[in-house]
Amino acid sequence: MTPGSPYDGSHCFGRWEPSSFPDRSPGGSAHAASVAAMDLAELTTLRLGGPARAVIDATTEEHLVEAVRVADEAGDTVLVVAGGSNLVVADEGLDGTVVRVLTRGVTVDADACSGAMVTVAAGEPWDAFVARTVDEGWVGVEALSGIPGSTGATPIQNVGAYGQEVSQTIASVRAYDRYDRRIRTFAAADCGFGYRHSRFKAEPQRHVVLTVTFQLALGDLGAPVAYGELARTLGVEVGGRAPARAVRDTVLGLRRGKGMVLDADDHDTWSAGSFFTNPLLTPEQAAALPAGAPRFEQPDGSVKTSAAWLIDHAGFAKGHGNAHVSLSTKHTLALTNRGGASTAELLDLAREIRDGVQAAYGIRLVNEPVLVGCSL
């Protein structure tokens, strides 16, 4: 069989029955809790998605690997979900089983020369880990504060924000290789990192991330600030440094102002974060944009522009949509569930925006979240 497609921390595989997995007691080497059925809306930050036949909670690495192995051998459909922050699930849901990655653990090896080598289980909530790095004086991910989801998801998308990317501090990634049916460790140089890209995203059917090891400097000052808005708010020059705690607090404030910090009472945060990636253009395409369009030259010769700018200037203002789905009232890059929405309505809005930007500028936006059982 050919294993299925990827995740947020979320993979969709072939299908298996929960009963095919060996029963493990809490005192055994692995432990799982099974739920007969659950709407995937309960497991995603968009709060959208139909039912899954069953949900399995994988609290140990052993159980996670075995669940995937059994799924592959049985040719069954399984969706592996961690934080659910980068998923758009069809209204029809999944005729299969969801495996939730709930593994936990942080192992630290630190010295004054090499900094801190910190290995984090895939199921650890990302922002809780970032908060700990600031508390411990580990430097290098403080500008990635407030991003929802799991640590194991971060290398897949090469998660980045406010001038930092996880690839800048990842030393290695351990993953279960579903093709070779073995656990492998990839050094950072072998991860194929690029803008919102990695070898794990390039081969979405192959790997399940188990742990991520970060190499972080030690100190009170954050890494050099590489993002203009963040530098201005901190009162430093681009390339300057500020206390890591101030960087974290400032990033959280900026993200809250854009509806990008989860808040159950704020429908602007009922989203999958940035719905479209920032386009990478040829120099000729970039030159054809209006004079005021953002342009950021990349090391490979391409030019990055802002998806949010394109959306706004194509006529889609904050709040564009209807009573069920709309662009965030704080940020044009987030598509939000205003309550009572369906996935079909969200995708209709996404198509309207994508097609409108293409008509205005000849640039086709690409969705960032993983689509399960649906498409644009």
Q: HSE of 51 in the Cβ direction (CA atoms, 13 Å)?
A: 6
368 assigned to active site = yes
The SS3 call for residue 346 is helix
15 assigned to active site = no
Beta-bridge mates of residue 221: 243
Q: Catalytic residue, from 15, 47, 178, 196: name it.
A: 196
Q: Residue 275: phi, psi to the nearest 5?
A: -80, -30
- CB-CB contact of 354 with 364 (8 Å): yes
Distance from C-alpha of 168 to C-alpha of 171, rounded to nearest angstrom: 9
Q: Residue 228: phi, psi to the nearest 5?
A: -60, -50
The SS3 call for residue 220 is coil
Tokens 């203002």: give the residue. 317
Dihedral (CA of 261, 264, 270, 271) sign: positive
Distance from C-alpha of 56 to C-alpha of 331, rounded to nearest angstrom: 35
Distance from C-alpha of 119 to C-alpha of 133, rounded to nearest angstrom: 12
Helices and strands in the chain, H and E counts: 9, 22
- CB-CB contact of 117 with 60 (8 Å): no
Q: Catalytic residue, from 167, 274, 326, 328: name it.
A: 274
Catalytic annotation, residues? 196, 274, 368
